[in-house]
Structure formats: structure tokens, C-alpha cells
Chains A and B, each alone.
Chain A
């Protein structure tokens, strides 16, 4: 049904928009920027910060542009004197309840409230500063996220993110009036509640109230210590996101420059998580085929199917809290980060003749949950903490700026060896559907001896931003040893964002759906939209990052995990075979049931 069009005037300029549009949409269409704080392109309308108020001719009150639908004949002024005065007061009121120690704030220079205060040249002393009168706690018990209530302006972006995008609701609004705050259950630490550490709230917090716990100083200490050998691994999505935090447009692929920058910062060896992503495909693919064989041939009814992926630590914590009965369905494979960490302090150390106690292993991740994952007690297969420090894409950008490196002018350099070689199948781990595509490219070929039947190996049905995707692959003319799969149709599903994951899991539990293999990523769009990626984020930005990921894949010489020569070599030299004894010792893990809040 066609939507009606509505005609209105903004700042005396006529504009026509679809009915149901907001004043903010109409203003945007005319390129008038109305400031916003609680509004976010990924979230529902809240209308609680009031900075987007505008003047409407004939109306007494100033409507909030983000929450007011347009109507026929409306005349709006986005920047009248009345609006400017009101807006300045609103910002001053917000600041009266905000700890404005900007110079020592982690978000200094990246804070939306600070930017507005700058733009509106606020008068600091007009309202009584309430911050000094209240007591606040800083919750820094979580290894991933710091919550500082003194910087919170109660815009509730985090609450909406946690509820609607992630279906976690670790954060909610508690108390009222001047006591109103964003709390967890009984105001416990974020570390003690259902929080998955996905960091989507951090991505959307306009101030410094929710930030990642940063390990920048520890990493500088390590790289500056000549006795320590520091290895760094970079996740697939970092190379397509990093540029945004260093002045480039979204969608820039900066792999070579990033490697260059890491070498200049002083890391002894710059290696690639993509290598262990390829390894994950070998391990997880083998695990899936083994489970299928047990179920189909041995008729073993204890085999848990569908099998789900385990790369996303946000997803792992989610299922541990919310669907503990499905834990046997989760692949026992560690995430690529942890596989890399375990191998860095065993295989790599042996090959390079290094003492493990003189090694520090750092990872650059698009993710805050990876910080929590690296801290899990299970992740010490080498006898040491396998990954010592996890930095987000944003922290790396900060280090690059601190190092005085002019990023745009850097030459493209190549990853070091060993554990620096990778395939296109690994880089697409960064996009929702990528692990599925990579797994299918390899598993199909193992079973049939032929490439997957898709042009250029691009398995298009598993790509894109649809919340839950499905794909079916018919397996025929198999190799003799895989006879039991002849004519079978492999049924797969993919979800990204935990709200979608929840829908899919509810359907699995109720038996409505029947899949063999499910890929889940906790963040919207997959890791490319991760909680450690540059801020801001929006559907448009994530779409550009996704394009860049598939471009990166298309430009790789090797496109399939099992063809990565370093993968073949590590199995021949060190691991034996996928899912073998050594693999189980180093590359696989187990999960724990957690409480429901």
C-alpha cells in the first residue's frame, strides 16, 4: 500500500516526506542538522534527552524532533532563538548531572555531550551541579566493560540496545527523579549479571558512562620491554574498521597499513587471527561431520544437533545464561582468538625457540567480550594465560595516534610468519554468515572432492543483514568414505544480534525448526559491527564494512581454509589431524551453566 505524502515547511523551505516520518527525518532530508543524544539509528524512539527540540509555528511547547511525526502544513524552525535558548538550557541541565572531568575521561574528544557543549558554548554555572552532591560508584569489576554512573545522562540508549537488539536486558532504569539511574539487577557489578560483554551499549553510549576496559598501558609496557617477545594477532574485522577511527571513510580496507603500524609500534611479531580462523574451519568442520556421522550412521541419539558455532564470546555467555540445556549443541572449538593464543605459547614458541614466560600475547579484536573470554579460566591451555591482553579496534587506533604514526601515509606491509598466512574464507568470519560460508567451502569439498556449487565460491544465500538466514545444500556424488551423506540435504541457519539468536534458539527448543548447523554472532552484522569497533555505528556504516570484507575475500589468492599452506603444515608438524588428541588439548574447550540474571 502506498504511503501518503505529507507536505511541511522546515525553516521556511517546503519539503515532502512519507507519513509517519519524524520532524528529524524531514530536517535531514533538507540537510538541516538537529542535534540528538538519545536518538540512535539502530534503536526505537525514546524522546527523553530533549536536545532535539524544535519550534512549531502555532504550538506553545517545543516538540522533540526525533519523537514527533510530521503533519500536513506543519511549519518547523530548527534553529530559532527560542530553540537555541531552550537547547542550551537542556544541555546545561544535562551537564549539571554529568561528571564533566573531560580531560581525564576515556571518551575525551569522542563524547557526543562534550561535542554539544562545545557547539552551544554552555554556561557552566547556571544550574546547581548535582554531581558533587551525589555519591557514585564506578563498576570496573568486569574485564570488559566499565560503567561509570557519574557520566550517565540517562538517555537509555544502552537499555534499549540491551533489550531490543540483544534480548539480554542486563541494564534497566531503576529508581526515579534525581535518583534515577541505569542499573543491573540489584545494582550488582556487570561482571556478576547476565551481561554478555558484547559491548553494543558501549558502541552507543553518547558519553563515557559505558566504555571498554582498556589495556593500552600494559601493552605499551610489554612492547617497550626488550626482554619480552610480544606477538600480536589481528581479527578479520579490524582491518576493515580501523581506518574509521583514523580519519578514513567507512569501508576502507587497511590491512597492509595496519600491519605496518603494528610493526612501528614495536610488536615483535605481527600475526593474523585469520590463520586460526582457517584452523577453526578445519576443527569445526570436522566436528560437524563427526557429529553427523554419529547421528546418521551410528544412530547415536546422544549426539547434539544442530551444532552451533562458538566463535562469538558474547553468544557463548548468552547461551550459558539463557539456554544452558543447549550447551552440548555448541561446538567445543575455541574461538580463533583463543586457538591462536594457545598455539602462540606452544607451537610458535617452540618453533622460534622462545621461553613462554618471556612472551606476551596480544590480540586486536572488534570485540569487548573477547576481553572476558581471554580471562576465562579455561583459556590457559599453554599453562599460561593464552592471550594476555585484548585490545579493541578503538584501542589500537588510540595507540597508533599515541605513537605519532601518520596512518594514511603508511606503506602496505605483510604479516610475519609463522601463523600469518590466511585465506579469504577466514576474513569473512568478520561478517554474519561468514563462518557458515567458510565452513561450507571446506566441508563440501572434503565430502565431495568438488568445490561448492556457487559462482566464484560466493555462497550468496548466507550473506547480508537479514536477522535470520537459512540455507540448504544438497550433497550428492560424494567420495566413497562419506557415503553416508549421499543425497543428504545439509540444513543451515544463521543469526546475528542476540535478539535474533534468541528467536532461533527458542525455535530450536520448541522443535519448530530442524537444522544441522547454526552460525550465531552476538553483534549486528557479525564482528564487523562488534562492540569494539569504531564509534559511531549505523546500518549504513555496517553495510560498507561488509562490502569491504567481501572485497578482501575476493582479492585473496587462497579462498578456502583447507588450502592455506600453513594449516596443512601445522597439522603435519604439530597437531596431527583435526579433532585429534593435540587439538583437543589446545583448541577445544567446555562451557559452564550460569545463573539466569
Chain B
């Protein structure tokens, strides 16, 4: 993992020290660490001279900018109607059993977090899940187990 100061400075160099640098910085931190801690948000606010509450507000507006601890691999199963009809509930069920966690939770080894997400635009190939930035379409319970096994082995 990269030092958060390095991420902030890198983005400031590219986007300036104004408000418009806020989103790239937050995205940069999440890309590297999967979630943003309180101290990191505060550092961002201080660096850009923005109100801390405002920065918190921005981060919480976006589903993908997590401010609560997440596992190394964040699984997001599409919850919208096409994936629902294609059987996303069975996928979630399988994942919950495989990982021994409920939706919204993180495994004790901090490796996996299981979440739902809104439409990812893969309606023609549902049900679909996202693990960090990787898309896995046309899931079946068996396929889901196999994919998780790969990540466990990583």
C-alpha cells in the first residue's frame, strides 16, 4: 500500500489544490486501500482547505467511496431487476455461505466484504458481480464458488 500523502500529492500535482482535486484524491485512496479512514479524510480536508464535514459528505454520497473498513476484495452483487430475475439471490446466498458472512459484512481475516450494488450495465449477462474492479457475468452458484476459491488462493 502507498502512503496516503504520496497519493494526495500525486493527485494535487495533476489536478491542482482546488476543490476539483477532491474526487480524484478520494478515488485514489480507495483504489489503493479499498476504504478511507477518518484520519485520511481529515488529511484531505486540511490539505485542500475544505470543511471536514463537506469532505465526509462528498465521500458518503458515492457508493464506491467507502468510509467504513472494507476487506481486501470488495464483492458487489448487482441487485437491480434484470440480475434479480436472473437469480442474484442464489448468488448472494452462495457467497454468504461460502464466506460465512452476511451482506454488508467483512470476513474476520479482512479479505472479503460482501455488498450489493445498483445496475452495472450488464443486464444482458446477469447475474453479475464485481470484485474490486473485475466484472464476473453470467454467474451460477458453482461459478461463484470457483471464483471465490481463486481469490482465496491468491
Partners in one complex: yes
Q: Which residues of A contact B (CB under 8 A)?
A: 163, 168-176, 183-187, 193-194, 596-597
Q: Enumerate the 4 nearest inter-chain pairs by beta-carbon distance, A residue then B residue, closest first.
A: A169-B51, A597-B52, A172-B57, A172-B53
Residue B54 is within 8 A (CB to CB) of chain A in the complex: yes
**Size range of the interface on B?**
10 to 19
**Interface assignment of B96: CB less than 8 Å from any CB of chain A:** no
Residues 23-81 (chain B) with a chain A CB within 8 angstroms: 38, 41-42, 45-46, 51-57, 60-61, 67
Q: How far is the CA of A48 from the CA of B55 in the complex (A)?
A: 21
Check if A169 sits within 8 Å of B61, measured CB to CB: no
Whether the Cβ atoms of A171 and B53 lie closer than 8 Å is: yes
A175 touching B61, Cβ below 8 Å: yes
Please give me the residue from chain A that is nearest to B37 by CB atom: A186
| Known contacts A186-B41, A596-B46, A176 near B54 by CB under 8 Å | no
Chain A hits for B42, CB < 8 A: 185, 596-597
B46 touches A172 (CB 8 A): no
Inter-chain pairs besides A172-B51, A174-B60, 20 sampled, C-beta below 8 Å: A168-B51, A172-B53, A174-B53, A174-B61, A175-B60, A175-B61, A176-B60, A176-B61, A183-B56, A183-B60, A185-B42, A185-B45, A185-B56, A186-B41, A186-B67, A187-B56, A193-B52, A193-B53, A194-B51, A597-B45
- Which residues of A lie under 8 Å from residue B51 when comparing CB positions? 163, 168-170, 172, 185, 194, 597
Instruction: Give the dominant DSSP class at A's interface.
Output: loop
Chain B residues with CB under 8 Å of A597's CB are: 42, 45, 51-53
Cα distance A187–B41 in the bound complex, in angstroms = 13
CB distance from A420 to the nearest CB of B (A): 43
- Residues of chain B within 8 A of A169, CB atoms compared: 51, 53-54
Within the complex, the shortest CB–CB distance from A256 to chain B, in Å, comes to 44
CA distance A596 to B39 in the complex (A): 12
User: Which residue of B is nearest A180, CB measured?
Assistant: B61
Q: How far is the CB of B57 from chain A (nearest CB, A)?
A: 4
Other-chain residue from A163, A173, A596 in contact with B52 (beta carbon distance below 8 A): A596
Report chain A residues within 8 Å CB of B61.
173-176
Q: Across the interface, which residues of A come within 8 angstroms of B67, CB to CB? A: 186
Q: Which residues of A contact B45 (CB under 8 A)?
A: 185, 597
Measured in the bound complex, the distance between the Cα atoms of B54 and A183 in whole Å is 9
Q: Return 13 A-B CB contacts under 8 Å, by A number.
A: A163-B54, A174-B60, A175-B61, A176-B61, A183-B57, A183-B60, A185-B42, A185-B45, A185-B55, A186-B56, A193-B52, A597-B45, A597-B51
In the bound complex, do residue A172 and residue B54 qualify as a contact, i.e. CB atoms below 8 Å apart? yes
Cα-based distance from A193 to B45 in the complex (angstroms): 14
Which of the listed residues B42, B55, B56 has the most CB atoms from chain A within 10 Å of its own CB?
A: B56
Q: How far is A170 from B55 in the complex, measured between Cα atoms in Å? A: 11
Distance from A198 Cβ to chain B, minimum over Cβ atoms (Å): 15
Residues of chain A lying within 8 A (CB to CB) of residue B46: 596
Report the minimum CB–CB distance from B118 to chain A (whole Å). 10
Which residue of chain B is the closest to A595 with respect to CB atoms? B42
- A361–B1 Cα distance when bound, in Å, is 57
Q: Which residues of B are in contact with A by a Cβ distance under 8 Å?
A: 38, 41-42, 45-46, 51-57, 60-61, 67
Q: Are A173 and B41 in contact (CB under 8 A)?
A: no
Q: Which residues of B contact A176 (CB under 8 A)?
A: 60-61
CA distance A184 to B53 in the complex (A): 5
Residue on B with the closest CB to A195? Answer: B53
Measured CB to CB, the nearest residue on chain A to B42 is A597
Min Cβ gap A561→B in Å is 39
Complex interface: chain A residues within 8 A of B38 (CB): 186
- CB-defined contacts of B57 to chain A, threshold 8 Å: 172-174, 183
| Chain A residues closer than 8 Å to B60, beta-carbon distance | 174-176, 183
**Distance in angstroms between the alpha carbons of A163 and B55 in the assembled complex:** 13
Distance to closest chain B CB from A267 (angstroms): 40
Question: What separation, in Å, do the CA atoms of A86 and B131 have in the docked complex?
Answer: 44
- The CA-CA distance from A173 to B61 in the complex, in Å, is 9
Residues from chain A with a CB closer than 8 A to the CB of B52 are 185, 193-194, 596-597
Closest to A185 in B: B52
Q: How far is the CA of A353 from the CA of B35 in the complex (A)?
A: 64
A26 and B126 alpha carbons, distance in the complex (Å): 54
Contacts of A170 in B (CB 8 A): 51, 53
Say how far A6's CB is from chain B's closest CB, in angstroms. Answer: 34
B41 / chain A contacts, CB cutoff of 8 Å: 185-186
Which B residues are in CB contact (< 8 Å) with A183?
A: 53, 56-57, 60
Q: Which residue of B lies closest to A167 (CB)?
A: B51
Measured between beta carbons, the chain B residues less than 8 angstroms from A185 are 41-42, 45, 51-53, 55-56
* Nearest-neighbor residue (CB-CB) of B59 within chain A: A174
How far, in angstroms, from A171 to B57 measured CA to CA in the complex?
A: 9
Min CB gap A350→B, angstroms: 47
CA distance A174 to B41 in the complex (A): 14
Whole-angstrom CA separation of A168 from B57 in the bound complex: 15
Q: Which residues of B contact A175 (CB under 8 A)?
A: 60-61
A208 to B67, CA, bound (A): 29
> Which has the most chain B C-beta neighbours within 10 Å: A169, A176, A187?
A169
- Most chain A beta carbons < 10 A, residue from B41, B61, B67: B61
B147 → chain A, closest Cβ, in Å? 30
Closest residue of chain B to A163 (Cβ to Cβ) is: B51
Residue of A with least CB distance to B56:
A185
A172–B56 Cα distance when bound, in Å, is 8
CA separation between A125 and B150, bound complex, in Å? 52
Give Cα A168 to B52, complex, Å.
10
CB neighbours (8 Å) of B53 from chain A are 169-172, 174, 183-185, 193-194, 597
Nearest B residue to A169 via CB reads B51
Provide the bound-state CA to CA distance between A172 and B54, in Å: 5
Q: With A and B bound together, what is the CA distance between A187 and B46 in angstroms?
A: 18
* Chain B residue nearest to A170 in the complex (CB): B53
Q: How far is the CB of B48 from chain A (nearest CB, A)?
A: 13
Residues of B within 8 A of A596 (CB): 42, 46, 52
Most buried by B among A170, A176, A186, A596: A186
How distant is the Cα of A168 from the Cα of B54 in the complex, in angstroms? 11
Q: How far is the CB of A196 from chain B (nearest CB, A)?
A: 13
- The residue of chain A having its C-beta at the shortest distance from the C-beta of B62 within the complex is A176
Complex Cα spacing A170 to B53, Å: 6
How far does the alpha carbon of A79 sit from the alpha carbon of B54 in the complex, in Å?
38
Chain B residues lying within 8 Å of A193, measured Cβ to Cβ, are: 52-53
Bound Cα distance from A104 to B120, whole angstroms: 46
Least Cβ distance of A145 to chain B in Å? Answer: 15
Minimal beta-carbon separation of A115 from chain B (angstroms):
29
A163 CB contacts on chain B under 8 angstroms:
51, 54
A184 to B42: give the CA distance in the assembly, Å: 12
A434 to B133, CA, bound (A): 61
CA distance in complex: A163, B19 (Å)? 15
Of the candidates B46, B53, B56, the one having the most CB atoms from chain A within 10 angstroms of its own CB is: B53
